[in-house]
Amino acid sequence: MVQSQEHKTVEEWQMTLGNCIRMLRLQKNLDQKELALRSGISHSSVRRLETGQPSSTETLIRVLRILGKTDWLESLAPSIDINPLQMAKLASKAPRQRVYKGKIK
């Protein structure tokens, strides 16, 4: 049974991402050592990323740059625009005040 995307575990997402990176690397006819060299990371870092083991954000970004997939990063962190009407509503609200709770005797 195929699990829906929103119900995947962290480990399943790591495996999915690792498989995608491996396929992209193979499409570009690169071996792991060459990708590591071009990315400025170790061969073991590439291997860990592709096998779904925990990796750093920096490793992921470096690899995606070499594979030409920085658009994936854009989809993770889209720019958020605030509507001018929303800003006006927020500005017109009275500032929140902190509630003081006195000591109980």
**CA 37, CA 43: separation in Å to the nearest integer?**
8
Show the low-confidence residues of the chain (pLDDT under 70): 1-5, 90-96, 103-105
Specify the pLDDT at position 68.
95
> Domain-by-domain residue ranges, the chain?
5-78
**CA 12, CA 88: separation in Å to the nearest integer?**
43
Specify the pLDDT at position 86.
74
Using a cut of 0.85, tell me whether the model's pTM lies above it.
no
What dihedral do alpha carbons 18, 24, 28, 32 form, nearest 10°? 0
Specify the pLDDT at position 6.
75
From the options 3.30.390.30, 1.10.260.40, 3.30.450.20, 2.40.33.20, give the CATH code of 5-78: 1.10.260.40
